[in-house]
Amino acid sequence: MYFDKKKAELDDFTYPIGTTIDRFIAQKQAEFPQATGELSQLLKDIVLASKVISREINRAGLSGIEGMTDEENVHGEKQRMLDVIADVRFTRALVRGRQVCGILSEVSEGIIDAGNPNAKYVVVIDPLDGSSNIDVNIAVGTVFSIYERVSEPGTPFTNEDFLQEGDKQIAAGYVLYGASTMLVYTTGYGVNGFTYEPSLGEYFLSHPNIQQPESGEYFSVNENHFEEFPTKIKAYIKQCKDKHLSTRYVGSLVCDFHRNLLKGGVYLYPSHHLSPDGKLRLSFECNALAMIAEQAGGVATDGEKRILGIKPTWHQQRSPFYCGSKKMVEELLAIDS
251 binds, among Mg ion, ligand AHM, none (CB under 5 to 8 A by kind): ligand AHM
Q: Specify the residue, 162 or 236, whose C-beta has the smaller distance to Mg ion.
A: 162
Q: Is the dihedral of CA 225, 226, 227, 230 positive or negative?
A: positive
Q: Specify the residue, 66 or 202, whose C-beta has the smaller distance to ligand AHM.
A: 66
Residue 27: phi and psi, rounded to 5, are -60, -45
Minimum distance of ligand AHM from residue 218's CB (angstroms): 14
Binding mask 106-145 for Mg ion (x = CB under 5 A): --------------------x--x----------------
Paired with 85 in beta bridges are none
Q: Which stretch binds ligand AHM (CB under 6 A): 84-92, 126-134, 162-170, 201-209?
A: 126-134
Alpha-carbon distance 74 to 107, whole Å? 7
Alpha-carbon distance 218 to 67, whole Å? 32
Could you say which of 97, 102, 127, 130 contacts ligand AHM (CB under 6 A)?
Answer: 130
222 binds, among Mg ion, ligand AHM, none (CB under 5 to 8 A by kind): ligand AHM
- Asked whether the beta carbons of 200 and 18 are under 8 A apart, the reply is no
- Asked whether the beta carbons of 122 and 103 are under 8 A apart, the reply is yes
Alpha-carbon distance 278 to 213, whole Å? 26
Alpha-carbon distance 201 to 89, whole Å? 17
- Asked whether the beta carbons of 184 and 192 are under 8 A apart, the reply is yes
Minimum distance of Mg ion from residue 122's CB (angstroms): 18
Q: Specify the residue, 147 or 284, whose C-beta has the smaller distance to ligand AHM.
A: 284
Minimum distance of ligand AHM from residue 239's CB (angstroms): 21
Contact between 87 and Mg ion per CB under 5 A: no
H-run or E-run covering 4: helix 2-13
Contact between 129 and ligand AHM per CB under 6 A: yes
131 binds, among ligand AHM, Mg ion, none (CB under 5 to 8 A by kind): ligand AHM
Binding mask 235-254 for ligand AHM (x = CB under 6 A): ----------------xxx-
Q: What is the spatial order of strands in the sheet that 181-186 belongs to?
A: 111-113, 100-105, 121-129, 140-148, 169-177, 181-186, 191-197, 202-207
Enumerate residues 147-166 that contact Mg ion by CB under 5 A. none
Binding site residues, ligand AHM, CB under 6 A: 126, 129-131, 222, 251-253, 279
Binding site residues, Mg ion, CB under 5 A: 126, 129
